[in-house]
């Protein structure tokens, strides 16, 4: 720690009592743990890059120097103090003391996460829980809609969330603003409904492919839902459907529907039966409109798409869980602009395009990346139309992005 910072740090420490200090170091340790996970992922991709070169001498000096400076626990504690301030720390301690040691634990499921609090569904009612600043810096990865949690009531009747159960499945992506931090879109979901629009905004197969990979990684069954089919006539529809045929051929459920005129909604609802699903996709594709249509009581806010560009306006701000029927739960999520892939090694990407497997056995090289190698049977299958060109091009595009990010 720099001398000037150390002085500030020691001054701040003097202002804290013992329990506040304990809380500070606990949160510093949590923060360090979260950053180590990120660092491990970055290191993994760095190593695999090195392994591809003949030896360490071929790695540039810049890359060798790229190691992050070493931080001890005081540095992490300083980071907590700088980013949150002493006041928030005091509030957590107050709530903790209020709770006492023998407060009864309650169990529930997160319906919505807001800054510093969340809505929990517990024993048939909604409970507003404060989440305490120890989660605030890692909140986006530690807490997600669908998480099963424990909370207790303070002496003053405030519900305070204190622990999260391990997840069975999730959809996650890298935080677009903080490198190395995972952002979990939804937890413990059975299905991810990838909502694409046939038009306004344009159909983007590469986004569908990214979500398919995230779903496979997170142990979630994907369903493709193509909305707004009322916007095109039959001849234009044939061309778009040709692209979607590739997904049906690899055994995925593709549902065409319109939240506007209601067509296909029966099929969509059938595919959601007895499950908890998350609606994901670009902004403006109609995720919230579909939810409203499936359950008119919900009436969540929708927004028009931009007239010129046909892009959505990011109307939904927070992910939220809704119960549609006894056994159908849907998580509506904010539309995204770009969907990055969390923890993806470029060498592993090809395994997520399962239709490549059959042909890859005949590639000349067993570790063929299906990009530049001679004798590549996957490329031949693309030429002959046995593998969809759109899917292959999206493989190349994703590979390029994740290789760039991991270098």
In 3D space, the residue among 211, 225, 227 whose CA is nearest the CA of residue 285 turns out to be 227
Cβ(282)–Cβ(196) under 8 Å?
yes
| C-beta closer to ligand GTP: residue 82 or 202 | 202
Structure tokens at 204: 């983007």
Residue 331 annotated as lining a ligand binding site = no
**289 in contact with Mg ion (CB under 5 A):** no
Alpha helices by DSSP H, listed for 61-204, are 61-65, 73-84, 86-99, 139-142
Residue 180 annotated as lining a ligand binding site = no
- For residues 36 and 43, give the distance between their C-alpha atoms in angstroms, rounded to a whole number: 10
**219 in contact with ligand GTP (CB under 6 A):** no
**258 in contact with ligand GTP (CB under 6 A):** yes
- Out of 136, 138, 172, 316, point to the residue binding Mg ion (CB under 5 A): 316
Helix axes 18-52, 86-99, angle to 10 degrees: 110
**285 in contact with ligand GTP (CB under 6 A):** yes
Cβ(325)–Cβ(385) under 8 Å?
no
- 3-state DSSP call for residue 128? strand
| CB-based burial, 87-112: b 16+ in 10 Å, e otherwise | ebbbebbebbebbeeeeeebebbbbb
- For residues 56 and 66, give the distance between their C-alpha atoms in angstroms, rounded to a whole number: 14
| C-beta closer to ligand GTP: residue 140 or 228 | 228
**207 in contact with ligand GTP (CB under 6 A):** no
- For residues 288 and 280, give the distance between their C-alpha atoms in angstroms, rounded to a whole number: 10
| C-beta closer to Mg ion: residue 224 or 259 | 259
| 231, interface contact from Mg ion, ligand GTP, Zn ion, none, CB < 5-8 Å by kind | ligand GTP
CB of 224 to ligand GTP, least distance (A): 15
| C-beta closer to ligand GTP: residue 195 or 376 | 195
In 3D space, the residue among 289, 302, 234, 285 whose CA is nearest the CA of residue 262 turns out to be 289
**112 in contact with ligand GTP (CB under 6 A):** no
Residue 230 annotated as lining a ligand binding site = yes
- Out of 304, 327, 383, 407, point to the residue binding ligand GTP (CB under 6 A): 304
Cβ(187)–Cβ(169) under 8 Å?
yes
**315 in contact with ligand GTP (CB under 6 A):** yes
- Out of 41, 45, 227, 288, point to the residue binding Mg ion (CB under 5 A): 288
Q: Per CB under 6 A, which of residues 137..176 are in contact with ligand GTP?
A: none
Q: Per CB under 5 A, which of residues 337..396 are in contact with Zn ion?
A: 363, 368, 370, 376, 378
CB of 380 to Zn ion, least distance (A): 9
Helix count and strand count (H, E) for the chain = 13, 13
Residue 314 annotated as lining a ligand binding site = no
Structure tokens at 361: 């056995």
Q: Which residues bind Zn ion (CB under 5 A)?
A: 363, 368, 370, 376, 378
Q: Cite the annotated binding site for GTP by residue number.
A: 227-230, 281-289
Q: Which residues bind ligand GTP (CB under 6 A)?
A: 227-228, 230-231, 258-260, 283-289, 302-305, 312-316, 334-335
């Amino acid at each position: 720690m720099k001398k000037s910072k150390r002085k500030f740090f020691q001054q701040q420490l003097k202002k804290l009592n013992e329990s506040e200090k304990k809380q500070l170091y606990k949160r510093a340790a949590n923060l360090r743990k979260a950053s180590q996970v990120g660092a491990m992922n970055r290191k993994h991709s760095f190593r695999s890059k090195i392994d591809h070169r003949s030896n360490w001498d071929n790695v540039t000096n810049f890359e060798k120097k790229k190691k992050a400076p070493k931080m001890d626990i005081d540095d992490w504690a300083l980071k907590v103090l700088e980013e949150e301030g002493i006041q928030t720390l005091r509030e957590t301690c107050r709530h903790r003391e209020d709770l006492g040691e023998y407060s009864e634990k309650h169990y529930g499921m997160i319906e919505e996460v807001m800054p510093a609090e969340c809505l929990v569904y517990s024993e048939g009612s909604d409970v507003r829980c404060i989440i305490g600043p120890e989660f605030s810096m890692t909140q986006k990865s530690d807490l997600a809609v669908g998480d099963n949690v424990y909370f207790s009531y303070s002496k003053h009747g405030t519900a305070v969330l204190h622990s999260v159960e391990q997840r069975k499945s999730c959809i996650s992506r890298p935080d677009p603003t903080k490198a190395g931090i995972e952002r979990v879109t939804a937890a413990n979901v059975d299905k991810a409904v990838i909502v694409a629009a046939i038009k306004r905004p344009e159909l983007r197969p590469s986004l569908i492919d990214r979500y398919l990979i995230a779903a496979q990684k997170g142990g979630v069954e994907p369903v493709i839902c193509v909305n707004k089919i009322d916007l095109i006539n039959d001849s234009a529809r044939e061309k778009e459907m040709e692209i979607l045929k590739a997904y049906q051929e690899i055994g995925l459920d593709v549902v065409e529907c319109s939240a506007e005129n209601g067509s296909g909604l029966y099929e969509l609802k059938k595919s959601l039966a007895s499950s908890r699903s998350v609606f994901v996709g670009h902004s403006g594709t109609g995720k919230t409109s579909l939810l409203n249509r499936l359950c008119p009581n919900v009436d969540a806010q929708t927004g028009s798409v931009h007239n010129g560009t046909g892009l959505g306006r990011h109307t939904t701000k927070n992910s939220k869980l809704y119960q549609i029927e006894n056994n159908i739960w849907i998580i509506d999520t904010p539309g995204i602009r770009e969907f990055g892939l969390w923890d993806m090694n470029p060498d592993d990407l090809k395994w997520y395009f399962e239709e490549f497997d059959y042909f890859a056995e005949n590639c000349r090289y067993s570790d063929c990346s299906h990009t530049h190698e001679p004798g590549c049977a996957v490329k031949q299958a693309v030429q002959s139309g046995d593998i969809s060109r759109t899917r292959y091009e999206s493989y190349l595009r994703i590979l390029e992005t994740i290789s760039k990010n991991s270098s």
